[in-house]
Each structure stands twice: as structure tokens, then as C-alpha cells.
Amino acid sequence: MNKIKAGIVGGTGYTGIELLRILTQHPRVNLVCITSRSEVGQPVSNTYPSLRGVVDLNFSDPGSEELKRCDVVFSATPNGVAMQHAREFLAAGVKLIDLAADFRIKNVEIWEQWYGMKHACPELIEQAVYGFPEMHRDKIRGASLVANPGCYPTAVQLGFLPLIESGVVDVTSLIADAKSGVSGAGRTAALGTSFSEIGESFKAYNVSGHRHLPEIRQGLEWANGAPVELVFTPHLLPLVRGIHATLYATLTTKELDLQNMFERRYADEPFVDVMPAGSHPDTASVKGTNTCRISVHRPQGGDKVVVLAVEDNLVKGASGQAVQNMNLMFDLEETAGLTQVALVP
């Protein structure tokens, strides 16, 4: 059985190393090329000793022609990079999965406003499929260009989706209170994410507007079929991995079995775990996995619903979801390479 030839652009960041960890365990993938401008020619295992004896490759230049001989390329680069090369990959018949935000937002003007740059290939935005399997599985199967969702948007959308699809909440007053581990800020050293600055501390950031807000709103509006109003407040947690989203909405009808609603919506989803009534999922339970764990609550039986959603921001929130999308694009078992058990403690 032929293996899929995969390449990674930007192999030295956290999403890049997570892709390496997952793809080396994938039964149907042959990893053939990993690029890095700063580490060209250096063995991958020099940068990541965890991959000694597992990845026997050197970092290549991002301009390597070997990438165009791949079946699929993952772009694990900062925002604004994938769009510079998307045309040539697609012209060469290579499927492209972008882990950054270049193709997530369909309105080009909104994208340029939030990301502060001119889009290099706006004609490809409509072609791109938003890689959120729980909503767009069939479209992903036929895609050549996939925009992998952001980490916060994955947890928030999964938490709100059953409520919005069922039309049982006031979509003008949604609140997402979300917290992320520091790895979500990337691997580049910065004062604000240094250990001495974040250890034993906790804070909100970008309260006036986070770049993931228009992406989350777009996804919820697709589910609703009409505009929604959302307050999204991100926070930085003093831990490495994990996202915890606490979501609030006001019910418009009282005769509901919310637990049953969530269980039915995600009954066939391999990477969404609806926990028993009264549960409080924690980030440790999903560390290193592609699972999003969800619980739903109705405090004091009133008209408010509180949804708790946890995920590993580097796996279901990034690289694991990218591999899930690849599996769909190549008609593989959706769970292939993604059955790791959480690391506890």
C-alpha cells in the first residue's frame, strides 16, 4: 500500500514539532521533507532530541523543490507565509494544509483589517475549505487547500455548536471566556511569555479584540445562518499546553435536555467527548491528544447554560486537527495516527 508523501514548511515551531511527533506514528505517511530557514542542513534531532532515532532527516530550505513532489504539505509558519506559496503548490498538484490564518476568513477585507497585511492570493480564499471536520467533513474530503482552524476557535465553536444549531439560545449575547497555555504564543522568546513573567500569574489579554474573534464569529454564523454577537476574552494560563473555554448563553426555551442534545450531536464524532452530566473536564485529561472534552451545565435550572470545553491547543487546536483533515482529504480512517492516550500526570 503506497504511503502519502508529506512535507512540512516551518519545522522548528511548536506546531511543526507536534506534526513531526504525530506523522512519524502515522501508518500511512512517509515524511520526506522538513524546512527551516534558520536550521538548513542541520539534523532535525539536533533541534529536537526527542526525535533521535525517529526522524532521520535534515532541515531543508523552504524553497526546496522536494516539497512540490509531496502529496501533501503542511504549512506550520507564521501568518502571511502560506499565501506566498499556495499557488505554486496547488499548480504542482500538491494538497496544502495551512495551520496559520491565511485562508480561514472568507471576507478578504476583514482578514486584512485583523492581520494588518495585504492578502497575496485572495482568489484562493473561496477555494479554501475551513478544516473543521465536525461541520465541514464532506467539503474537506474533496479539498486541495484546507485552512486549519485556530486553537481558541476550535474549542469555542465545538462548545457552542449544538446550542446554535438547535436554535435554543439567544445568539445576540454569547460569551466565550477562554484560557490558553503559553505554547499558544509560539516558540519565539519574548518577555511576556517567559517563565518568571507568567509563573504563578494569570491575566486576560487582547480584551478589545483578538484575531480569533472574526474566525469564531464566522463559524458560529455559518451554524446559525444569520449574524451572532459574541464577546470573546482570552487569558494566559501558567501552563505549557491546554485550552479551557467557559462558554455562556441564555436559553430561549426551558423544556430542554441539554445533556442529550450534546450527546446526540457528537455521538459519531471520534474526537469530541461529551462527559457525563455534572462533569468538569480539565486540560490534563487531553494533554497530547486530539480530543476535545465537553460538559454542559444549567446552573440552578435557570435560563443560563454554561459549556466547558477543553483541548490541547497544539493537537486538536492545531497539528492533530491538521492530520485529521489530511486523513479526510486522502480517504483514510479519520483517526489514523491520532489515537494517543493523554499524558497524565
User: In whole angstroms, how far apart are CA 131 and each of 15, 99, 134, 210, 317?
Assistant: 16, 10, 9, 20, 11
Question: Closest Cα partner for 196 from 241, 242, 238, 235?
Answer: 238
Asked if the peptide bond before residue 345 counts as cis, ω within 30 degrees of 0, the response is yes
258: its cell numbers: 441539554
Catalytic residue among 33, 70, 121, 151: 151
Is residue 33 annotated as a catalytic residue, yes or no? no
Q: Which residues does 265 contact at the CB level (< 8 Å), separation at least 6? A: 161, 162, 165
Find residue 35's DSSP bridge partners: 9, 60
31: its cell numbers: 515524511
d(CA 60, CA 44): 10
Question: What's the angle, vertex CA 19, arms to CA 17 and CA 22, rounded to 5?
Answer: 110
d(CA 165, CA 228): 12
d(CA 35, CA 26): 20
Phi/psi of residue 185, each to 5°? Answer: -85, -5
Question: Closest Cα partner for 221 from 292, 304, 160?
Answer: 160
Phi/psi of residue 69, each to 5°? Answer: -100, 5
Would you please indicate which residues are annotated as catalytic (active-site) residues?
151
